[in-house]
Amino acid sequence: MRSIDTAYIDGAFVTVSGDEVIDIINPANEKLIGQQRLAGRQDARRAIAAASHAQTALSQSTKAERLDMLRSLQAAILRRADEIRDVTIAEYGAPISRARWISQYASDCFGYAADALQGYQFSRRIGDATVRMEPVGVAALIPPWNAAAGTICSKLASALAAGCASVIKPSELSGLQSQVVTETLHSAGLPAGIFNVVVGRGSDVGDELGTHPDVARISFTGSTATGKAIARAASETMKRVSLSLSGKSAAIVLDDADFEAALPMALNSGFQNNGQACIAGTRILVPRDRLEEVEAIVRAAMGAWKVGDPADPGTTIGPLANAAQFDRVQRYIARGIEQGATLIVGGPGRPEGLAQGYFVRPTVFADVDNDMDIARDEIFGPVLSIIAYVDDDDAVAKADDSPYGLQAYVYSRNVERASRISERLMAGSVLINRVTPDLRAPFGGVKQSGIGREFGIFGLESFLEPKAIVREHADVEAASAPQWRGPESITDFY
Answer whether 270's CB lies under 8 Å from 251's CB. yes
| Sole binder of ligand NAD in the list 27, 150, 163, 210 (CB under 6 A) | 210
Query: Shortest CA distance to 273 belongs to which of 425, 151, 142?
Result: 151
Stretch that binds ligand NAD, among 78-86, 157-165, 167-175, 408-416 (CB under 6 A): 167-175
183 contacts ligand NAD (rule: CB under 6 A): no
Contacts to ligand NAD from residues 323-362, by CB under 6 A: none
Count of residues that bind ligand NAD according to CB under 6 A: 29
The amino acid occupying position 12 is A
Binding map of ligand NAD across residues 31-70, x = CB under 6 A, - = no contact = ----------------------------------------
196 contacts ligand NAD (rule: CB under 6 A): no
| Angstrom distance (rounded) from CA 140 to CA 215 | 7
Stretch that binds ligand NAD, among 15-23, 144-152, 348-356, 411-419 (CB under 6 A): 144-152
222 contacts ligand NAD (rule: CB under 6 A): yes
461 contacts ligand NAD (rule: CB under 6 A): no
Question: Which residue lies nearer to ligand NAD by CB, 220 or 411?
Answer: 220
How many C-alpha atoms does 467 have within 13 Å on its Cβ side?
8
Answer whether 164's CB lies under 8 Å from 217's CB. yes
Collapse the DSSP code of 221 into the 3-class scheme (helix H, G, I; strand E, B; otherwise coil) and give the result. Answer: strand
How many C-alpha atoms does 481 have within 13 Å on its Cβ side?
4
Report the nearest approach of ligand NAD to the CB of residue 305 (Å).
22
247 contacts ligand NAD (rule: CB under 6 A): yes
Question: Which residue lies nearer to ligand NAD by CB, 357 or 450?
Answer: 450
Q: State the sign of the Cα–Cα–Cα–Cα dihedral 121, 123, 124, 126.
A: positive
246 contacts ligand NAD (rule: CB under 6 A): yes
221 contacts ligand NAD (rule: CB under 6 A): yes
Q: How many CB atoms lie within 10 A of CB 436?
A: 10
199 contacts ligand NAD (rule: CB under 6 A): no
Residues in the chain: 494
158 contacts ligand NAD (rule: CB under 6 A): no
Closest CB to ligand NAD belongs to which residue? 202
171 contacts ligand NAD (rule: CB under 6 A): yes
Stretch that binds ligand NAD, among 24-32, 169-177, 343-351, 429-437 (CB under 6 A): 169-177
| Sole binder of ligand NAD in the list 146, 269, 274, 462 (CB under 6 A) | 146
Sheet architecture: strand order including 21-26? 2-4, 31-37, 21-26
Collapse the DSSP code of 448 into the 3-class scheme (helix H, G, I; strand E, B; otherwise coil) and give the result. Answer: coil
- Cβ contacts of residue 385 below 8 Å, gap of 6+? 282, 283, 284, 336, 341, 364, 365, 368, 372, 374, 375
- Cβ contacts of residue 156 below 8 Å, gap of 6+? 73, 141, 166, 168, 185, 195
307 contacts ligand NAD (rule: CB under 6 A): no
| Sole binder of ligand NAD in the list 148, 230, 345, 460 (CB under 6 A) | 230
- Partners of 25 in beta bridges: 32
- Cβ contacts of residue 83 below 8 Å, gap of 6+? 180, 184
Answer whether 451's CB lies under 8 Å from 243's CB. yes
244 contacts ligand NAD (rule: CB under 6 A): yes
Question: Which residue lies nearer to ligand NAD by CB, 219 or 412?
Answer: 219
Question: Which residue lies nearer to ligand NAD by CB, 182 or 412?
Answer: 182
135 contacts ligand NAD (rule: CB under 6 A): no
| DSSP structure string for 162-213 | HT--EEE---GGGHHHHHHHHHHHHTT-PPTTSEEE--B-IIIIIHHHHH-T
| Sole binder of ligand NAD in the list 20, 207, 293, 312 (CB under 6 A) | 207
Stretch that binds ligand NAD, among 238-246, 282-290, 312-320, 456-464 (CB under 6 A): 238-246
Question: Which residue lies nearer to ligand NAD by CB, 354 or 451?
Answer: 451
Question: Which residue lies nearer to ligand NAD by CB, 110 or 380?
Answer: 380
| Sole binder of ligand NAD in the list 223, 255, 328, 447 (CB under 6 A) | 223
| Angstrom distance (rounded) from CA 250 to CA 270 | 9
Query: Shortest CA distance to 35 belongs to which of 169, 146, 145, 175?
Result: 175
| Sole binder of ligand NAD in the list 245, 266, 386, 388 (CB under 6 A) | 245
206 contacts ligand NAD (rule: CB under 6 A): yes
| DSSP structure string for 147-176 | THHHHHHHHHHHHHHHT--EEE---GGGHH
- Cβ contacts of residue 311 below 8 Å, gap of 6+? 28, 89, 96
Stretch that binds ligand NAD, among 89-97, 137-145, 154-162, 412-420 (CB under 6 A): 137-145
Question: Which residue lies nearer to ligand NAD by CB, 454 or 461?
Answer: 454
- Cβ contacts of residue 145 below 8 Å, gap of 6+? 92, 170, 171, 173, 174, 321
| Sole binder of ligand NAD in the list 54, 84, 198, 278 (CB under 6 A) | 278
Stretch that binds ligand NAD, among 5-13, 128-136, 224-232, 264-272 (CB under 6 A): 224-232
**Contact residues for ligand NAD, defined by CB under 6 A:** 142, 144-147, 169, 171-172, 201-202, 206-207, 210, 221-223, 226, 229-230, 244-247, 278, 378, 380, 406, 445, 450
